[in-house]
Amino acid sequence: MSGRKKTLLKVIILGDSGVGKTSLMQQFVNNKFSHQYKATIGADFLTKEITIDSNKQVTLQIWDTAGQERFQSLGVAFYRGADCCVLCYDVTNEKSLNNLTSWKDEFLVQSNVSNPQDFPFIIIGNKIDVDDSKKIPSLQKKLQNITNNQLGGLNYPVFETSAKDAINVESAFEVIAKMALQQEELNDANGNDVSDDYNDAINIHLESESSGCAC
């Protein structure tokens, strides 16, 4: 976006509480896993510099969010300007899978991206290290069903990961980085024309207030 000196890619991780968003971020950025992560309140982020296609240096700014629904009202500020959105579920928790659609919709509403139709989303199913017996039965079919019918039939990349055992985390984020870079370039090409309806709406009404708001 305007004023950026280096390529900074903003990635938002969303998903139900407890699916492992913090763990994924920590595993990717710090190569560590702990059982000691506390529930995330508000939001948190970490940055990591990576090289894409062996020549492009980018800084990934990864935002970890609180999973509980009510925290979405705080998300307004940081969804904006996102270059990629990671939708997470827990392969042992069917509800978290079913909620992917609402996370996507929520993101699109709040982030106000210019290209909702083809904004880069990626799906991560975490906790594949867990015993098979605990996993969602016929997961692939259900996931297929969700992507086809609810996520608009768009072929979002899907990764199954284990943040605990560091399986697929690196490769997932590599794809995330590439997708984000593409989005960023697209935005730049479009003259950074992110519509600002929400803000404008507020402004208009405040500005036309008679004596107004003291602050």
Partner 1 sequence: MSFRPLSPPESPTANNSNNHNQSMSRSSESDLSVDTDIIIGHLDPNFGSETRIENPKTPSSHQRNASSYSRNYSLLDFYGLESPSGDRESEPLIDASIMKGLDDLEFKELSHANTIFAKSVVPSPETEASVRENYIQPTVSENIEKILNSPYDRYGFRKSSTLHNITHDHYNEWFSDYSQYALRRKKKWHILMKNNGLHLEQEDSIPTRFPPKSDKVKKLIRQGIPAEWRGSAWFFYAGGHERLNKHIGVYSQIVRDTRDIHNKDTEVIERDLHRTFPDNIYFNSQITSPVNSSSTTLATDTSAAPPETPMIKSLRRVLTAFAHYQPQIGYCQSLNFLAGLLLLFMEEERAFWMLVILTERIIPKVHSANLEGVHTDQGVLMLCIKEYIPQLWAILGKNFEGEALSEDKILTRLPPVTLVTSSWFMSLFVGILPIETTLRVWDILWYESSKTIFRFSLTICKMCLENPDFQASRNNNKGGAEMDQIELFQFLQNFPKTILDPNLLVDNCFKKIGGYGFGSLSQDEINKCREFVSKQRAKLDHKKNNNIAAEMTDEERRTLISSSDGTFADDQSIHDVYGFHRSIMSGVIWNKSISNKMKRSFVKRKTSR
69 or 105: whose CB is closer to partner 1?
69
**Dihedrals phi, psi of 36, to nearest 5 degrees:** -95, 10
CB of 118 to partner 1, least distance (A): 22
The answer to whether 33 and 164 are in contact (CB under 8 A) is yes
Give dist(CA 45, CA 64) in Å, integer: 6
Task: Give me the least distance between CB of 215 and partner 1, in Å please.
Answer: 5
Summarize as ranges the residues that interact with partner 1 (CB under 8 A): 1-6, 8, 17-18, 32-45, 47, 61, 66-68, 70-71, 73-74, 76-78, 80-81, 129-131, 164, 197-215
Give me the least distance between CB of 59 and partner 1, in Å please.
10
Q: How far is the CB of 206 from partner 1 (least distance, A)?
A: 4
Smaller CB distance to partner 1: residue 114 or 157?
Answer: 114
List strands edge to edge, sheet with 84-90. 43-52, 56-65, 8-15, 84-90, 121-126, 158-160
Residue 2 or 117 having the CB closest to partner 1:
2
Q: Which residues have C-beta within 8 Å of that of residue 140, sequence separation ≥ 6?
A: none
List C-alpha distances in Å: 136 to 3, 127, 129, 198, 212.
46, 11, 13, 39, 55
Q: Closest CB to partner 1 among 64 and 147?
A: 64
